[in-house]
Chains A and B, each alone.
Chain A
Amino acid sequence: MKKIIELKNITKSFDGEVVLDNINLDIYDNEFLTLLGPSGCGKTTTLRLIGGFETPDKGDIVFMGERINDVPPYKRNVNTVFQRYALFPHLNVFENVAFALREKRCPKSEINEKVREMLSLVALNGFENRSVTSLSGGQQQRVAIARALISRPKVLLLDEPLAALDLKLRKDMQQELKKIQKATGITFVFVTHDQEEALSMSDTVVVMSEGRIQQIGTPIDIYNEPTNAFVADFIGESNILDGVMLRDRKVSFSGQVFDCVDAGFGENEQVDVVVRPEDVDIVPLGKGQLTGVVTSVNFLGVHYEIIVDIGGFKWMIQSTDFVDVDEHTGLYIEPDAIHIMKKSEYSGMFGDYSSFSNELDELSNAESESGE
């Protein structure tokens, strides 16, 4: 695959605060790449650097082999779908979409043809003469995409484009964006704080935190093989425990020794152990490797969400088997459900469900959505 954009050792600060700290990232032709992270992690700044709205303090931005640090936005073969669309309120749908072609002074017939083609790509035929302020959020979103795609950029940058839409519309647009990306063959660089969105749409996910890239990989890699506690916690639910790697494929945590599939750590090395909630089986007392007391049970439709106290550490377990609160239960974990990570600065910060409540979780989600 061909590299389209390379970010090399990029550092950027605003008012003395480091926003991007030595970022290295390759973006390939025709891929759907997502920058994922909480607000303030530097994902939007990364996007703005590629768009040309910021210049890096240090490092190079390379576009198809050429350094473009100082190339202004209007000379870059890159277009942007802005967070709140930034449609021109004084122009109708047709003129918004035609904006880039009018600047290039394309002939009228070509503009007509291309605008119609773009509007049908985003399913907005017949909206040409509508005022953009009269459109719904989803329709404005489509106009923004059509406007950005009309000059056939090599790369389309999307800055949280779905954040302002309601859940159902968001799901539809996710499908549609993916379809448009496949149909046009244009590289999409997508920014979001929504991990589900990132997993379901992307070819490559880049997880960022505090101005640094934590992990680059396919959605499956990121979910199954997180590199540290931050990634494990940010992508889905995880129980993260302190453990000791006794030797290859043998790990000890929660006072027990487990078989696992990881190797290559030092003997008796301190590690973080990740176990996903859906990988823990509820078994009769004495049948599993661990024993615990159920402290809360929450029915979520597809499964129960069960919090189990094992020696003072609260695990989250997702199971279709019912256990009651205060019941003692056995727990069983398959060797390949145990994922071992090196200790990192994030160790001990995540992965314990002792203060867990759904309400709290929703609150913090709402906060991150309004951010940036």
Chain B
Amino acid sequence: MKEKRSLRRARVLESLCLAPYSVWAVLFIVVPLLFVAYYAFTDNSFHFTLGNVTRFFTATSKVSGADGLDREVHTYLLIFGRSLKLAVISTAICLLMGYPAAYIIARASDRTQKVMITLIMIPMWMNFLIRTYAWMTILQDTGILNGFLGFFGLGPVHIIGTEAAVVIGMVYDYFPYMILPIYSVMAKMDVKLLEAARDLGCGGLGVLRRVIFPLSLPGVVSGIIMVLIPSISTFYISQKLGNGKFYLIGDAIESQYAANNLHFAAAIAFILMIVLLACMAFMQRFANRRAAV
């Protein structure tokens, strides 16, 4: 009896400790999400409608192609496709650069590891807007990069206002989110496992393919999720580095919101959220299946 009572007391204490976060989560996460859904499925007078969602899939506009002819396109599907493309390219570049870097850092001496990780994190301490402005001055036609290239008689290269500039900005901003989770998995990996693989006949590549990679997969998956999601929904980078020519889904939400089309903005955000949730579920499933093999 006494035990039961003390157990109950422990539970009460536990929920008391959790209370501040629970209140926070409900107020600032759950409620806003419900509002997004509510706005997405209502019109200006708050009557239920699917109009906002169907508008996302059906709205069309004319764009002039490279051949000078105007064509009808699905506005938001096109924007969404472009966002997805740039986000996937950025994520892939982050992964290709981040994975080997994480591996090398994780195998370095403790001191080097600390220095390297700090260096990677320093840009995160700087304001996002300032970082993006910095890239503008670097990439401009008369910017630092072209000045540097010109010094060697090269260039100038036109980067600002291209998709490449947007990708460079995304990679720079989100790279730490790729390298850190991979690094933390790699650093925890037992060196004895790598020795065991070599002992059992694996050369360097074999160790990487059969032991290091499968064991680092959870880090890779969380790195991909943490880079893909913000880069799909980013809006500022494309405006500044893409000269506003590459309208992304984040820009669409922002401009609809700015134009006071709250219901349609909410619908786009809602659809984006559903797509990202589906992506994450798929990734997790993939990681779990690989881990189980």
Q: Mark A146-164, 1 if CB is under 8 A from B, else 0.
A: 0110010000000000000
Whether B291 contacts A100 by the Cβ 8 Å rule is no
Interface string of B166-208 (1 = CB under 8 A from A): 0000000000000000000000001011011111111100100
Contact status B215-A89, CB under 8 Å: yes
Selecting from A56-64, A71-79, A277-285, A324-332, the interface stretch reads A71-79
Within 8 A of A (CB), among B259-293: 291, 293
Q: Are B291 and A103 in contact (CB under 8 A)?
A: no
Identify which of A80, A88, A90, A104 contacts B201 (C-beta below 8 A). Answer: A104
Interface residues of A in 81-107 (CB under 8 A from B): 82-84, 86-91, 99-100, 102-104
Does A79 contact B192, Cβ atoms closer than 8 Å?
Answer: no
Given A90-B214, A90-B291, A90-B293 in contact, is the A82-B196 Cβ separation under 8 Å? yes
Closest to A153 in B: B199
Query: Assuming the A-B contacts A89-B215, A90-B214, are A79 and B200 also in contact, with contact meaning beta carbons closer than 8 angstroms in the complex?
Result: yes
Docked CA distance A53–B195 (Å): 8
Q: Is B210 an interface residue (CB 8 A)?
A: yes
Complex Cα distance, B211 from A148, in Å, reads 16
Instruction: Evaluate whether A88 and B211 lie within 8 angstroms (CB atoms) in the complex, with A82-B195, A99-B200 already known.
Output: yes
Contact B199 A84 (CB under 8 A): no
A74 with B201: CB separation less than 8 A: yes
Q: Is the CB of A100 within 8 A of B201?
A: yes
- The minimal Cβ–Cβ distance linking B217 to chain A, given in whole angstroms, is 8
Say which size band chain B's interface belongs to.
10 to 19
Which residues of A are found within 8 Å of B197, using beta-carbon distances? Answer: 88, 99
CB distance from B39 to the nearest CB of A (A): 45
Q: When the two chains form their complex, are residues B291 and A74 in contact, meaning their CB atoms are under 8 A apart?
A: no
Expressed in whole angstroms, the Cα–Cα distance for A74 and B204 within the complex equals 10
Interface size classification for chain A:
20 to 34
Q: How far is the CA of A148 from the CA of B200 in the complex (A)?
A: 7
* A51 interfacial by beta-carbon distance below 8 Å: yes
Q: Are A103 and B206 in contact (CB under 8 A)?
A: yes
Contacts of B201 in A (CB 8 A): 74, 100, 103-104, 151
Please report the C-alpha to C-alpha distance between residue A187 and residue B3 in the assembled complex, in whole angstroms: 58
- Chain A residue, CB-CB nearest to B194: A86
Does the CB pair A72–B198 fall under 8 Å?
Answer: yes
**How far does the alpha carbon of A173 sit from the alpha carbon of B288 in the complex, in Å?**
35
Asked if B200 contacts A147 (CB within 8 A), the reply is: yes
Give the residues in chain B near A83, CB-CB below 8 Å.
192
Q: Are A80 and B199 in contact, CB atoms less than 8 angstroms apart?
A: yes
Contacts of B291 in A (CB 8 A): 90
CB distance from B185 to the nearest CB of A (A): 12
Among A72, A90, A100, contact of B200 (Cβ-Cβ < 8 Å)? A100
Cα of A282 to Cα of B188 in the assembled complex, Å: 59
Residues of chain A within 8 A of B206, CB atoms compared:
74, 103
Complex-state Cα separation, A102 to B202, whole angstroms: 10
Given the known inter-chain contacts A86-B192, A89-B215, A90-B291, please indicate yes or no for A79 contacting B199, CB distance below 8 A: yes
- CA of A148 to CA of B202 in the docked complex: distance in angstroms? 13
Which residues of A have CB within 8 Å of B210?
Answer: 99, 102-103
| Shortest distance from the beta carbon of B231 to any chain A beta carbon, whole Å | 29
- By a CB distance below 8 angstroms, the chain A residues around B200 are 74, 79, 99-100, 103, 147-148, 151
Chain A residues near B193: list those with CB within 8 A: 86, 88
Provide the residues of chain B in CB contact with A73, threshold 8 Å. 195, 198-199
- Measured in the bound complex, the distance between the Cα atoms of B194 and A53 in whole Å is 11
CA distance A83 to B192 in the complex (A): 9
| Binary B-proximity of A185-223 (CB < 8 A = 1, otherwise 0) | 000000000000000000000000000000000000000
Q: Are B195 and A86 in contact (CB under 8 A)?
A: yes
Which chain A residues lie closer than 8 Å to B192 at the CB level? 82-84, 86
The interface residues of chain B lying within 8 Å CB-to-CB of A99 are: 197, 200, 210
CB distance from A90 to the nearest CB of B (A): 5
Residue of B nearest to A84 (CB): B192
The answer to whether B211 touches A74, judged by C-beta atoms less than 8 angstroms apart, is: no
Closest CB-CB distance, A210 to chain B, in whole Å?
26
The answer for the CA separation of A74 and B206 in the assembled complex, in Å, is: 10
- Verify B190–A86 contact, CB threshold 8 A: yes
Cβ-defined contact, B196 with A80, below 8 A: yes
CA distance A167 to B267 in the complex (A): 66
Which of chain A's residues have a CB closer than 8 A to the CB of B293?
90-91
Residue of A nearest to B215 (CB): A90
Q: Min CB distance, A47 to chain B, in Å? A: 11
Contact between chains at B196 and A88 (CB < 8 Å): yes
B207–chain A nearest beta-carbon distance, Å: 9
Q: In the complex, are the beta carbons of B211 and A51 less than 8 A apart?
A: no
A229 to chain B minimum Cβ distance, whole angstroms, is: 36
The complex places the Cα of A22 from the Cα of B160 at a distance, in Å, of: 66
Indicate which residue in B190, B199, B214, B215 contacts A74 across the interface (CB closer than 8 Å): B199
Residues on B with beta carbons closer than 8 Å to the beta carbon of A51: 199
CA distance in complex: A80, B201 (Å): 11
Question: From residue B197, how far is it (CB to closest CB) to chain A in Å?
Answer: 7
Evaluate contact between A74 and B203: CB separation under 8 angstroms: yes
- Residue on B nearest A79 in the bound complex, by CB: B199
Interface residues of B (CB under 8 A from A): 190, 192-193, 195-203, 206, 210-211, 214-215, 291, 293
13 A-B residue pairs with CB within 8 Å: A72-B198, A73-B195, A74-B199, A74-B200, A74-B203, A80-B199, A82-B195, A86-B192, A86-B193, A88-B211, A90-B215, A99-B197, A148-B200
Q: A74-B203, A86-B196, A88-B196 given. 15 additional CB < 8 A pairs?
A: A53-B195, A53-B198, A72-B203, A73-B195, A79-B200, A82-B192, A86-B190, A86-B193, A86-B195, A88-B211, A90-B293, A91-B293, A102-B210, A103-B200, A104-B201
4 nearest CB pairs, A to B: A86-B192, A100-B200, A103-B201, A86-B196
